[in-house]
Chain A
Amino acid sequence: MMDFLNLIPVTWLPLLESVFYALVFPGFIAILLLAFFIIWFERKAAARVQMRYGPLWVSKRTGGIAQLLADMIRFSFQEFIVPEGADLIPFVFLPGFLLAFSVLPTLFIPIGPYYSHIFPAGYTLLLSVAFTLVIPVYLVVLGWAADNKFSFIGALREAYLLISYEVPFILAIASAFLLYGTLNLVEVVTIQERSLPGIILNPVAALVFLIAVIRATGRVPYDIVEADSELVFGPYVEYSSLMFGFVMGVPYIELYSYSLLFSVLFLGGWAPITGVGFLGGLIIPGIVTFVKAVIVMCALVFLRGVYPRYKLDKAVRAGWSWVFYLALIALLLSAFMSRVL
């Protein structure tokens, strides 16, 4: 492997690494494989709580893990229906945009100590957060474009929740910045390696981050935007065929990006493993980061087995009251801890 890398001009390496990042790991292919696992896990875990089997008959020996593949095949043979009054261009293209933008943040989250992208490494935290924040805007447009009252209400709910939970989220990111004093995620992990993981240094910020993630990805109890018994999947109500598969997959990919960011910011990323080369510097630390992220994801999707749905006005009030106060406390805690560090 090293010989192969030596043949490539050195100036190409950052570009190649970016392509590897985006397409293989932790990008596209890893996400596809993970989507299989996490959707299967969510359904199996909920089924275990609910005294039933969950997916079983598609590849019975592996416990039905290929169910998603079967679903996708079924989706792809369905007709894609565009409602009469729908705004055609946004309606057709936004699911693809959503999918792309939900994958993009992974490009800026380093999974190993040697991060040499074509993108400025000093701003990785800022860039990854910025790209996660684009998605809700598209969701609002998507809800409006479908020309359906329920999707419109879903879009409005998304807008309300977006505003009330983005502020605590940004404050949690800000307190992480204050804590580590850098926007470079590689340095963030180095600092955590030297001292303690961020979740111990500032547990409040981690909590606020997780609440905002549950909100942003529409996990229970914050599945207010989708709300199947009120709005029948809100902004996505008019989608059929593969497009439905896309828009249903977006929250999981978002969840993956956020969890990766969480594992780097608060769980110490690839610490305590560091090495050199393609294998020791990228793949093994990458797997460590990845496993931490998957554990976070599993914990978050498990909430579905426990909680019912929260209400819009109460969620907005919570976002502006106790979640916001917690975020402020996290900021103060960070200011204190950064002195100690």
Chain B
Amino acid sequence: MTQEIKTIPFTYEALSQLKMSEGVLELQIGPAHAGSGHMRIVAWVEGDTVVKVDPDIGFVHRGVEKLSEDRIYIKAIPMVERPSLVDTVNANLGYVMALERLLGIEPPPRAQYIRVITAEISRIMSHLYGIAIYGIFMGSSTVFMWAMADREPFIDLLQELTGARITYSHIIPGGVRWDLPKDFAENAEIALKYLENRTKDYEKVWINNPVVVARSMGVGKLSAEGAIRLGVVGPNLRASGVKYDIRKEEPYAAYEEFDFEVPTFKEGDSYSRLLQRVEEIKQSIHIIRQALKRLPDGKIIYEDYYKRMSPLMKKIYDEKGRVKFTLMLTSLSPPKGEAVSRVEGGRGEMFYYLVSDGGKAPYRFRVVTPSFRNLPFFTHVMPGHKLADIPVIYGSIDYFPPEADR
């Protein structure tokens, strides 16, 4: 169980040609298994020790990239949200940022702040979801229920803002669709306070639980060099001690105006990945408070788009703070070129690449999701551990098969 990265080449051929000794049992964990999610983990075990793991992904491939190529630009927004269902705002933001770079427009500050607020709420929900899945994989239904239920105040917040519970499609090119409701700041403060109070319960039942510590401390260790070499991203990378956060490295939206820390841990084991998520939730709470306090006044849509609205649309915007989809938004055709955007999603770096040929739909669209980047954990970290550690490592990296399959 020492932490060296296994030097198995990461190709299917190499994995399948690996010599197996006698007495090795091949286990097909998934796709219909309580601990697999929408994927198959083929694990070879010798005794109770896992000697080789082959993740078989692609069961929930949705073809987001290809489907986007024959739809107008803004119709891709609901589609990019679908793969990472618990972190929709960040996915939405990443795509729209790439599109805005193609169009050469910059949203006004108020829209940027609202984007930061919703993105951080989404990050909190994503981390809570990760903790919930970690809990149920380790056999604690209590933490599963708690963390799932504690997403509720935040879902309600965004429901009040957007009308939807999971897939908001709130961020559009040039700004956001709805302005914050009047009592949003108060409700947000209530939700944040609630979560802060709940942290103590989590510490009692989950984080300081002796069984949790015994099962996850030292399990699934990945050193900083190993994490960089395998190219893992997000909280998993930072839990291994690499201080890398897109929000700091390449600030987008309004992130450079906020004061927040990038928490890191040295150990790089499953337990520190859990603590990493808890710390990041605390930082997100901090960011949301700052953003709500310093929320600038002004438009929530790109100035030029507002000017070109019809009088009726302008009236609706002025009265309700709501941007209707005008012809101008639905017939976006960016100039020929390509653009790239990176955002720090809940699970890690999300990468979007858009190529335009001047038409009404993308010529090529590419998405790289954090779960896919975290896949090497299966092949390189799991071997050498016990069979019971597979769900622990799986849960601790917050792997989400639909997100990886896109």
Contacts and interface: CB of A to CB of B under 8 A. Distances in A.
Contacts of A150: 27
Given A50-B142, A230-B35, A312-B388, 15 more contacts: A52-B145, A153-B25, A224-B388, A227-B139, A230-B388, A232-B34, A232-B35, A306-B142, A308-B135, A308-B215, A311-B215, A311-B388, A311-B389, A312-B387, A314-B214
Contacts of A230: 35, 387-388, 390-391
A201 B205 CA distance: 32
Contact of A46 (B139, B142, B390): B142
Interface residues of B, number: 30
13 contacts: A50-B149, A51-B146, A149-B25, A228-B34, A232-B35, A306-B142, A306-B205, A309-B211, A309-B215, A311-B388, A312-B48, A312-B386, A313-B386
Given A229-B137, A308-B215, A49 B388 contact: no
Contacts of A52: 145, 149
A304 interface: yes
A50 B145 contact: yes
Q: Which 9 A-B pairs have the closest CB atoms?
A: A309-B139, A50-B145, A308-B140, A229-B35, A308-B138, A308-B139, A229-B391, A311-B388, A229-B137
A158 interface: no
Contacts of B388: 224, 227, 230, 309, 311-312
Interface of A: 46, 49-52, 149-150, 153, 220-221, 223-224, 227-230, 232, 304-314
Nearest to A221: B211
Interface string B131-161: 0000111111111011001000000000000
A308 B146 contact: no
A92 to B, nearest CB: 25
Given A308-B215, A313-B386, A232 B33 contact: yes
A153 to B, nearest CB: 7
A279 to B, nearest CB: 43
A227 B390 CA distance: 12
B330 interface: no
Contact of A313 (B34, B48, B136, B142): B48
B281 to A, nearest CB: 19
Nearest to A233: B34
Interface in B200-251: 205, 209, 211-212, 214-215
A51 B147 CA distance: 11
Q: Which of A50, A223, A304 has the most CB of B within 10 A?
A: A50
B214 A51 contact: no
B214 A50 contact: no
Q: Which of A220, A232, A307 has the most CB of B within 10 A?
A: A307
Interface in B370-390: 386-390
B194 to A, nearest CB: 12
A308 B133 CA distance: 12
A308 B211 contact: yes
Given A310-B211, A313-B48, A223 B139 contact: yes
Interface string B29-43: 000011100000000
A160 to B, nearest CB: 9
Given A229-B35, A311-B215, A314-B214, A305 B386 contact: no
A307 B389 CA distance: 17
B149 A51 contact: yes
Contacts of A153: 25, 387
